[in-house]
Amino acid sequence: MSMPSPADPDSAAAAGASGEPAPGASGPADAAAAAEPDTAALIEQLNQDRLWLLRQIDSGRWSEWRLDLAALERELGQLLDQARERGVS
């Protein structure tokens, strides 16, 4: 399995050769607005992963770690609820 390269091609395309933002690149306020859907998508993906973990636990998988995984699932659910609340405010 290969690791992704540290250089993000999308960010490299937005910056000129000098590392300065390309003309027409968005500022911090625009970047925050553009990042919001990505944050919501990330929260949703993490919630889907949490539900998958819950289904696996309920089906009896990893029985030796059941209590620890159930606690992790609950904490993840609480964290995602807090992230959603902060995203709405």
To the question of pTM greater than 0.75 for the whole model, the response is no
Residue range 24-49: average pLDDT?
74
How far is the C-alpha of 30 from the C-alpha of 35, rounded, in Å?
8
The tens digit of pLDDT for each residue in 40-89 reads 899 999 999 999 999 999 999 999 999 999 999 999 999 999 999 988 65
Give the position of tokens 């959603």. 84
User: What's the whole-number mean pLDDT along residues 17-30?
Assistant: 52
Task: Please give the pLDDT value at position 64.
Answer: 96
Q: What is the pLDDT of residue 38?
A: 86
Helices marked H in 1-89 — which ranges?
A: 9-14, 28-58, 66-88
Whole-angstrom distance, CA of residue 19 vs CA of residue 9: 13
Q: How far apart are CA 73 and CA 79, in angstroms?
A: 10
